[in-house]
Amino acid sequence: MDQPRKTSLQGLRILVAEDESLIAFDLETTLDHFGCEVVGPVGRIEDVVRLARAGNLDGALLDVNLRGSQIFSVLPELLDLGLKVVLTSGYDDATLYPDAYRALPRLSKPFDERRLRQACEKHFLA
């Protein structure tokens, strides 16, 4: 089996919040290929908050809708903790987000590996 190639993302601890198992698996596999250490994936908002409070994360890819609950309810706390977030959604329309969060970085599903890498490098290495 090929070894993952070294990248600037090597060793970053990225929280993945995604409740669709196939998407979560794909994200985990891709981030692992980038050299990241995946925390999760988790599919509940409570788990996102718990892991964010524990700290030691370099960033988070957060699905906007986790099992019917929207991530926006806990975003203030996550951002206050200094967590760097990239929102993910099947809808690439910022007007669906509350005004306060429309400027946050986001990726639409399905994920393109190149765009995912660029988003991680841009937002988690800053």
Q: What's the whole-number mean pLDDT along residues 113-123?
A: 96
| Average pLDDT estimate for 33-38 | 97
Tokens 């995912």 map to which residue?
116
Average of pLDDT values for 49-59? 97
Show the DSSP H helices in 43-110 as ranges: 45-54, 75-80
Distance CA 62, CA 71 (A): 7
Cis omega before residue 105 (within 30°)? no
Give tens-digit pLDDT for 68-87. 999 999 999 999 999 999 99
Stretch 37-63: mean pLDDT? 97
Please report the pLDDT score of residue 5 as a whole number. 45
**pLDDT band (50, 70, 90) for residue 2:** low
